Structures are given as structure tokens and as C-alpha cells.
Structure 1
């Protein structure tokens, strides 16, 4: 079988809807889910983009396209473009909507005119847009009313709808480091392992690192080590759940000791093992200062 025959057609999603209803938030959430996102594409370019995804094969497995009235007169061709695409491929259309009064408040909050406002009011622009979008809304596969959503709630809804089954909703990096080299600037939380005896003062262990089984055994045998791991992992679980609810996609828990070579390395790995089963979380471990002298 040739490579071309093995290629799976890309999944395509058209994101459209009312200005101010959250298209940018939806696009950002999809991008975080590793969709390839194209913003403000004229409907006439949808067919060439579909052709490109077929040529690219698995390189572009999931493509989301934001199409809206910023395209002005070009936008009128969207219903025809949707029909054309659906004859060739399964294409989903998501329409974001919100109540008129909510849209007015959102435009007033950012102090920007509606793209179809012209010399009228924001509400005039909204009414013109509803007329132009009527046919698109009627043929959408999914309509999301964002009237009661804030940006985090909308992003969470997009993740719920379009994340791959089983995909992690949050990536946790557990980072070991040495305090003498400074705090990691991107750390969300910092844990200090200097309450444990330092293997550096054991001549047999000094030249080894926390990745060595002897150092690991030494550190975990110290009073308080196991208790800390169990308690800290348990304390982090509701934090990780909250991050997912707030659609915070990444976090860093920094675990430090004096030089970042022994205690922090052991404890970072052990903490990762205890959090590996946290629902919706992908855990990875990095050692910032392990190679330093």
C-alpha cells in the first residue's frame, strides 16, 4: 500500500458566528488542543485549503478555520462553500451565538465598533450580521450560545467538545532545581526539599545523582520524605482539578534543593509517580540543574 493510500483525510471544522460571541477564544482553545487553526479565511479559500490538507495527509490531521463577516462581501459565499465541502468530506460547522444585549455589552467593554456598524449603532451592526448569518446558522452542526459564558468557561466547553478522547486537558511539569542557581521563573508552585539531610555530605553518594538507586534509597529513607510526598501529592490533586476547570493548560511545580542534584531529583520523580494517575493530567519530569558542576 502506498503512503498516499494510507493517508487519512484531515478532520475539518469551520468556526463562525456572531462577532463578539467568542470566535477568538474558541480558536485559541482549539490551537491549544493542537488543531491547525486558520483565522479570517475567505470562504473561497476553503476548497484550496481542503485540497492542501489532502496533499499533506497526516501532517495536518485536524484543521479549524475561522470564517466571519470580517471578510465583508466575500463572506456571502460561505453557504455555497459549505455545501461544496460537505459533498467531498465530512466537515463540521460550529456557530457561536449570544444574545444581542450581551454582544452590545461586550463591544462596549472593549470600546471597538461592530464590523458592520458603519454609521449606525452597535445594535444596527448586530442586526445586519444576523441577517447575513441566518442561512449559515440554520445549517450549522453545532450552535453554542455563549451568553452566560466567560472566556474560561467557553474555552472549557470547546475542550470538552473537541479534545481527542483520552487526551490530557492539563500538562504538569515537575521541575527539579537548585536554589543556589535561582528560582525557576515559570514556576507556579515551589516545594523546598532542604528539610531533608543532604546526600552531598555522604562521601559515597556525593558524586552520584538523584537518578542513582542508592541516592534514591537514601533520600526516601529520611524522616519526613514519604510523608511529604503523600501529603503534597494529595494537596496538588484539587489544584490540578481546578486548573482544568479554569482551562489552565500548563503548570510547573518546582522541587528544589541546594544544588538540584540529589534530593530534588529524587523527590520530583517520586512526586510525578504519585500524580501520574490524576485524571486529565499528563505529567512530565525535567531536571534543570542536574548537569551543573
Structure 2
């Protein structure tokens, strides 16, 4: 079976409270068959089971939810099982990890008055820390990570619909993510472009509080002499590579665009690249990881090159 016709299997996991239930319900709404808390050791048998009679002759893609509460959960053994499954040419297996900051998870547990499953008689923070440590090998292994810290439920639903819609299931899912190097490097990036060489609007007092989505900021960045050629060369590389990934059956391609703080240059360049790629016929989504982050001069001052601040 070719990669294009292989059965899609999405393993959905992450921190308790980060949105796994929402993700699985959304996947089910758009046509996936979903099973939560299913022991991975039983996956081989499940995949051999015919689809439900209600689906006729269709064998829909399968989304399996699991976390630290799942029977037999052990991260390293789980990764080895996934590797063995990936050796099957009839299966196209990916892993989606839902992450969230500790503070936001604590807030969610406090608001819902739920107890963390790993800290039933202790503060939620204890359970969050324990679960994060347990799941860290899975997070590093996952080929798709969504940080839900700043996402409302409907925003997470929209992102799931955009990235896993079955209407384009034969195509590679392309995501462009802007981010700030000073706030940490994303773990799921396939192609990384550093745009810190461009003029930084942060150091213009009239632009500091704005973002790369504002026209004034975009104009400021575009005035940099290196800007036109840089955009042209990045686009040329992406237009060459993306069809190669699609032909190879790669399910996801994550493109990272980084600047210092993740609010100005990377945001604008990500938006610009996405517009050109869509005009070229590529279907993709854009995420701005640090767009809502508070501007901090200490972060922007971390790097100085040739006397030019924030590069």
C-alpha cells in the first residue's frame, strides 16, 4: 500500500487538562473514528477489526487517546511499540501532543474544581509536575505539538479542524509557526528560518507595543535592504521542498520562523510567506506562538550584533 493510501492513525496524548477530550471530540466531528484511553498494546488487534457497519465500506482514519491514566502506560515501552507500528507500510502513524503551562493548568483545575488524576489528595501542582515528567519522552517523540496555554476551547477546535480535516487527508499538513528564540525553541519544527537579521521594530517606541500583523510594523520590516531577497530565497526553497515532502507521503511539515521575542519580525514574515504559498497552491495554517506574550526589553536585549539592537 502506498503512503497516500495508507490508513491514518493519530495517537493523541498530553497533559491532563490540556485539551485531549476536546481534540478527540473535534476529530470525531470531522469524520475520524476515535477511542479514548485505549491500551496501545492492543492497537494491532484493533486495526485488524472491520470498521463499524454504520460506516458501510469506509474505513475511517483512527484517533487513539491515551495519557498517564491509561492501563499499562509506560513512555519508553510505548515509543518502542509506536516504532514497530510505523514499520508497517499500510499504516501512516503520527502523534499529537497537547501541552500547556503549569500556571494555566492550575487555573483550569481551580475553576472547574476537578482534582488532578495523579494528585487526588494533594495540590494540583504536584500532579502536574509528576505527569509532565512522565510524559516528557512522549513530548520529545511527538511529531505534532499544540500548546493550548493561550487557546480557548473553540480556538483549539478550529486548529484541529484546520490541521486534521479529512477533505485534505491525502495532502501534507503544512503549518507555519512564528516564535521567539528567547522564549524557547519549538520542539516539532522540520524547517527553521531565523529572521533576527532583519531590522527590529521593538526598538521604535511607536511600534514596540504593536505586532507583525500591524501595517506600520510590516512596513518597517520591509524597508530592511535584506528583506526582499530573503523572502524570495526562503520562498524558493519552500516551493522546492514542500512538493518533495508531499511526494514522499510526509503527513506533517512544520515550518518555524523565529525572531527574538516572537511578536514582530517572525509574525510578519510568517504571514507574508503564507500568503505567497497559498497563491502558489499550497494549503496551510499559521500559528503565532508568542503573539500574545508581553513585550519585554530584557528579552529583546539578549542579542546585539554590530551595534544593532535586538538582532
Q: TM-score, normalised by structure 2?
A: 0.48
Q: Is the Cα contact below 8 Å between 1:43 and 1:75 reproduced in 2?
A: no
Q: Is the Cα contact below 8 Å between 1:9 and 1:61 reproduced in 2?
A: no
Answering whether residue 61 of structure 2 is matched by residue 59 of structure 1, we say no
The alpha-carbon deviation at position 55 of structure 1 amounts to 12
The alpha-carbon deviation at position 111 of structure 1 amounts to 1.1
The alpha-carbon deviation at position 110 of structure 1 amounts to 1.4
Report how many residues are paired. 163
Structure 1 match to 2:15:
18
Structure 1 match to 2:84:
84
Trace 1:1-293 onto structure 2 (pairs within 5 A).
Answer: 8-52=5-49, 59-71=58-70, 73-76=72-75, 77-88=77-88, 89-165=91-167
- Helix, strand or coil for the counterpart of 2:70? helix
Mapped to 2, the partners of 1:14 and 1:47 lie a distance apart of 13
CA RMSD in angstroms comes to 2.9
Mapped to 1, the partners of 2:110 and 2:42 lie a distance apart of 32
The alpha-carbon deviation at position 74 of structure 1 amounts to 3.2
Per-residue CA shift, 1:193-249, capped at 9, x if unaligned?
Answer: xxxxxxxxxxxxxxxxxxxxxxxxxxxxxxxxxxxxxxxxxxxxxxxxxxxxxxxxx
Per-residue CA shift, 1:95-142, capped at 9, x if unaligned?
Answer: 000000101111111111111114322111011111111111111010
Q: Which runs of 5+ in 1 are unaligned?
A: 168-293
Q: Is the Cα contact below 8 Å between 2:31 and 2:166 reproduced in 1?
A: no
Mapped to 2, the partners of 1:110 and 1:68 lie a distance apart of 20
Q: TM-score, normalised by structure 1?
A: 0.51
- Helix, strand or coil for the counterpart of 1:113? coil
- Helix, strand or coil for the counterpart of 1:59? coil
- Give 1 or 2 for the bigger CA radius of gyration: 1
Q: Is the Cα contact below 8 Å between 1:10 and 1:58 reproduced in 2?
A: no
Q: Which runs of 5+ in 2 are unaligned?
A: 170-311
After TM superposition, the structure 1 stretch with the greater mean CA deviation from structure 2, 157-166 or 133-142, is 157-166
Higher relative helix content: 1
